[in-house]
Amino acid sequence: MKRVLDRNQDKAEQIRSLLKEKKVRMYNLISSPGAGKTTLLEQTCRHLDHQLRVGIIEGDVYTDRDAQRLKQYGFPIVLINTEGGCHLDSNSIDGALKEFDLEEMDLLFVENVGNLVCPSHFDLGETAKIAVVSTSEGDDKPIKYPMLFRDARAVILNKIDLLEHTNFNYDAFIKDLRQVNPTVPLFETSCTRGEGLQDWYRWLEQEGRNA
């Protein structure tokens, strides 16, 4: 019996122990395209400015547009173009990590390729996965993609300001999410308006103290 993806898993474990040794936390942000990962990172970087030493690994299918958007905050960014690939893997993260000075870093965000299925299968050696979902994409995501929502250490429900303009059934979303993952912290945010982000920042700080 041979396990497929063992090579990815072995590399991920190496990364996990390296990050632990260097006391760097790494969060793997997973969502559909357009849920708001980049805007969440923009807000978060702006908030964390000078409080924590942050780095970003930006997964993009072809372009550097997201990396360009994030550049202005002055944090080190490494872009990984997957050239059509639908997810990042631990080997590409291993390469990206060599570009950072991990001694001078507290927190790393990985913006995975926009996709809810594939990225959740590939362990990157992250401290935790964060699932980002938005009200404009429908309320059935937790039950359709249980693997991600079970594994996530936090869930962000973004575009909460658009709720009244969509047919997003909030109660159904909560019921499904709680069935798939009864205890995961949920942050309801509008990353464009900045609503609800304080709780997310507090959670990030708390996680740092617990690490």
Q: Which residues contact 27 (CB under 8 A, 6 or more apart)?
A: 107, 108, 109, 110, 126, 127, 128, 129, 130
Site track for other proteins across 58-97, x = CB under 8 A:
---------------------------xxx-x--------
For the bound state, the minimum distance from the C-beta of residue 149 to other proteins, rounded and expressed in Å, comes to 10
Sign of CA dihedral 26, 181, 161, 206: negative
Edge-to-edge strands of the sheet including 77-81? 77-81, 54-60, 107-111, 25-31, 128-134, 154-158, 186-188
- Judged by CB under 8 A, the stretch of 16-24, 25-33, 67-75, 143-151 that binds other proteins is 143-151
Provide, rounded to whole angstroms, the least separation between the CB of residue 85 and other proteins.
8
CA 132 – CA 139 distance, rounded (Å): 12
Minimum distance, C-beta of residue 91 to other proteins, in the bound complex (Å)? 11
By CB under 8 A, tell whether 167 contacts other proteins. no
Q: Which listed residue (27, 109, 122, 173) binds other proteins by CB under 8 A?
A: 122
DSSP classification of residue 98:
T
- Point out which residues bind other proteins (CB under 8 A): 1-8, 85-87, 89, 117-118, 121-122, 143, 145-147, 150, 178-180, 182-183
